[in-house]
Structure 1
Amino acid sequence: MPHITLVSDEPGIRGLFRFRPEMARPLNELVEALLRADNTLTRGERELIAAYVSALNECRYCFSSHAAYAAAQLEGGMALVEQVREDVGGAPISPKLRALLGIAAAVQQGGLRVTDRLVTAAQEAGATDVEIHDTVLIAAAFCMFNRYVDGLGTIAPDDPESYAARAKRIVSDGYLALLAESQRKS
Structure 2
Amino acid sequence: MAHFEGLTPNSGLTEVLRAFPRNSKPLLHLLNSIMCADGELSRGQRETIAAIVSQQNDVAYCAFYHSLFAEVLTAPNAQPNVDVEPLAEYARRLIVGDSGELDRAFKAALSAGWSQAALYETVEVVGIFNFINTIVKAAGLVQPQARPCPMPTAEGLAHSYMDMAESIGSCSPGPVSSCRSR
Q: TM (normalized to structure 1)?
A: 0.77
> Residues 148 and 68 from structure 1, CA distance in 2 versus in 1: closer, same or farther, beyond 3 angstroms?
same
> Residues 131 and 68 from structure 1, CA distance in 2 versus in 1: closer, same or farther, beyond 3 angstroms?
same
Unaligned runs of 5+ in 1: 78-91
**Offset of 1:37 from its aligned partner?**
0.4
Does the residue aligned with 2:92 lie in a helix, a strand or coil?
helix
- 1:99, 1:118 within 8 Å by CA — same for their partners in 2? yes
Residue 126 (structure 1) aligns with: 113
**Offset of 1:103 from its aligned partner?**
0.5
**Which structure would you say has the larger RCO, counting Cα contacts within 8 Å and 6 or more residues apart?**
2
Instruction: Tell me, yes or no, if structure 1 residue 26 matches structure 2 residue 26.
Output: yes
CA distance in 1, matches of 2:162, 2:128: 17
Per-residue CA deviations over 1:117-140 (Å, capped at 9, x if unaligned) read: 211111111111111111122112
1:176 aligns with one of 146, 150, 162: 162
**Offset of 1:164 from its aligned partner?**
3.5
Does the residue aligned with 2:40 lie in a helix, a strand or coil?
coil
Unaligned runs of 5+ in 2: 171-180
Query: 1:109-148 alignment to 2 at 5 Å?
Result: 109=96, 112=99, 115-148=102-135
> Residues 106 and 46 from structure 1, CA distance in 2 versus in 1: closer, same or farther, beyond 3 angstroms?
same
Per-residue CA deviations over 1:64-83 (Å, capped at 9, x if unaligned) read: 11111111111369xxxxxx
Q: Whose helix proportion is higher, 1 or 2?
A: 1
Residue 11 (structure 2) aligns with: 11
CA distance in 1, matches of 2:165, 2:121: 23
Instruction: Tell me, yes or no, if structure 1 residue 39 matches structure 2 residue 25.
Output: no
- 2:49, 2:88 within 8 Å by CA — same for their partners in 1? yes
Q: Which amino acid aligns with 2:23?
A: M
Q: TM (normalized to structure 2)?
A: 0.78
- 2:86, 2:105 within 8 Å by CA — same for their partners in 1? yes
CA distance in 2, matches of 1:163, 1:156: 17
- Give the percent of matched residue pairs that are identical in Structure 1 and Structure 2: 25
Q: Which amino acid aligns with 2:71?
A: A
Residue 176 (structure 2) aligns with: none
